[in-house]
Chain A
Amino acid sequence: MKLDLKNGHVDMSHGSGGRAMADLIEGLFVKAFDNPVLATGDDQARLDVPKGMRLAMSTDSFVISPLFFPGGDIGSLAVHGTVNDVAMAGAKPLWLSAGFILEEGFPLKDLEKIVSSMAKAARDCGVQIVTGDTKVVEKGKGDGVYINTAGVGVLDPSLDLGPHRIVVGDAMIVNGTIGDHGMAVLARRENLDFEEPLLSDSAALADLVQSMIKSGASLHAMRDPTRGGLATALDELAGASGHGFQIEEKAIPIRTVVRGACEILGLDPLYIANEGKLLAFCPYDEAETLLAAMRAHPLGRDAALIGRVVEDKQHFVEMITPLGGRRLISRLAGEPLPRIC
């Protein structure tokens, strides 16, 4: 039976393992993700690993609401999120798996939109979706669509990035404005409109990372500050590195509309999620080289040096406020909640 992508809905048979499921897989997923590994139709993807390379692997599940938001959707996010986690090791992400948990009654039209967006996101960053799975849950037992992706990338064995490499004197660099994704989603969820649109920064950072490696600057560590925002990533890394960080608040790039929206809702942009940002550490005297390479890339145009690593037995992240005062940064506890008074 042909899939009715215009008016059809997901029903229980689409997860049954039978013909309807095969129709969904063939008619939608295989067509959109189109690549020779997936086309074999086998239960597993067999992958050729370039000689001498190590593998880097990561997985992430996506349960975002709303499914569509300004600047992206759950499909593109499911690609970017996992690709970025793999890329933070300096690896080049090549393959993804995709697991879908669909809720009975979900419009196939919306599913098709999500799947094509996922396919485009994967194509744009040179990643193949090589294996997948589909399950359907009864109406009321899911939130439309949940997606899990796992990603595998190849890594030059000479690269060793991580918090253990961070040393006193390192520079800390972000590739652009923070807080965009979380505020775009929150604004859509709460139906808030601002003069300037709030757009998610959802993007695959793998290509930017490759440019950063090629710049010749000695990268020590990278982290994508997603949930919990920049503040949480800084606090975690300071703890893991065994050093303290000193941040200059006015150096942190934040779009005016994001600052404004945060003010109205009583939120701190440092704690708001990002999906296309990375935090990089390199020796201070190589920061200019790294910054130049980043700024030459479309995803690093607003790259900025925001602070440096200092000696501190307590591993605090200390921020100099624009008024010249100091405050400590800690990690997010629970959900960021709008204030009430």
Chain B
Amino acid sequence: MATTRFTPFELLLLKSRNQTDTAALLLLTWVAASKDGLSEADRQRIAAMSASMRHGHDCQAILDIGSRQDLDAIQLAAEVLQKDRWGTQASPFLRQAIEIGVTEGKLAAGTNHILRFLADLLGTSPQQFAQLYRDVAGKPFDSPEDPSREAYWQAREHARQQQRSQSEQRQHEQQSHHRQRHSQNHAGGSRQGGDRSHSAKTLRALDILGLDAGATRNEIKKAYRRLAQTHHPDRFFALGERDVASASMRFQKIQKAYEYLMQDARFI
């Protein structure tokens, strides 16, 4: 006779007073873990949700299994839910899944695919689910982002760049205050900066252009052209002398970074 050994999740399911609730809890944990690992806030939210369920065992064990994203356990949980089909209970469960899946109004592509899977599993039609999603998240249910397309990465790089230029401007203002107060201190800091290795300098130059370490020569050129256009001092002529001066500082920085990168052998 083959040995019968139960997996941890099977044991929990057998001990549980309500198998459907245990399965639902595991699937909620799967949704949470798909975002970016299981954060402490998500653990607390799931524990709070489990308070109203009738599974009658420790919720922590489920969280540990779910954070491992064990496919067999997830399949078993999905089968349990599918068998019970849940009729009226389907929409409260999907509501909880959406609440957990959406952070700060954003829905990651992976979580989006999981929610679609859960909606199909419980036999909820796309219209019903879209309505439910709009009720909970306050936004229409979009199709998932597609990282296999170039457009996805361009949009992301662009968003990051805008964020960075904003924070850079803020930093710049802070720094000028700082410099006035502690001029000696700052001189020490800049000397230290000169000692940095060659690759750190390259990285800093890439950072100014809003790129990461893997950028190609073509991407550098594109980023430079875009930034040079937005920060060109002539564009700020109407806004007054001060803006022109700050823009020309930014523009010079961008230009220097670009020139430095172009003479770097690794990008030729």
A and B held together in a complex: no
